[in-house]
Structure 1
Amino acid sequence: MTDMSYLDGNMLDGPLRELFAVDLSAATSRCQSCGTLGPMAGLHVFSHAPGLVARCPVCSEVMLRLVRAPDRAWLDLRGATFLQVPMPLDRPGRL
């Protein structure tokens, strides 16, 4: 690999803040286990754990975990191969 300049992870703050400022219930994801494609709103969410656990509606595998503390949150999306988020076309400063 050739020597390429890079920016540190702080550069992601703006783009990620824009991304997660949208309603994720309309986002589409694919289950890593069975390949089911569907909206986040269609996941089966369980709140009996110390956080939220969202499972695939077809195979019941865990796709998302969200745990909150007073000063931080942990988001685990290992069970999803991707998260496709619809973005409004009229937002200034888009990539």
Structure 2
Amino acid sequence: METEADDVNRAMMLDGNAVAGRFAALFGAEMTTSLTECASCGQDHMMGALLAFTHAPGVVLRCPSCEAVMIKLVETPRGVYLDARGAAFVRIAR
């Protein structure tokens, strides 16, 4: 049974394409077609297919299969913090 909080979270959810510009600026490459594997469930997805939550101080990307947190990105005046502990790998094309 879904709660009201679940409905609000789903209404605020985008896909990974919503943060394409941030990742392109950070990595110097188009990242939406980069393959990544969820460390929780082992499923492979393109970055653009991840579930993006952008209504916070940073960005949270979740696995579309199991909804585990894969990547967190926070930009501050002092630097960029990237936590990708939830991703087994992210492939960046050459």
Q: TM-score normalized by structure 1?
A: 0.68
Runs of 5+ unmatched residues, structure 2: 1-25
Distance in 1, Cα, partners of 2:40 & 2:52: 17
What letter matches 2:53 in structure 1? Answer: F
Q: Report the structure number with the largest CA radius of gyration.
A: 1
1:68 matched to 2:75? The reply is yes
Equivalent residue for 2:87, pick from 74, 80, 85: 80
Equivalent residue for 1:21, pick from 28, 33, 47: 28
- Alignment RMSD (CA, Å): 1.4
Distance in 2, Cα, partners of 1:37 & 1:74: 24
Aligned residues: 69
Q: TM-score normalized by structure 2?
A: 0.69
When you count helix as a share of all residues, which structure comes out higher? 2
Name the counterpart of 2:58: 51
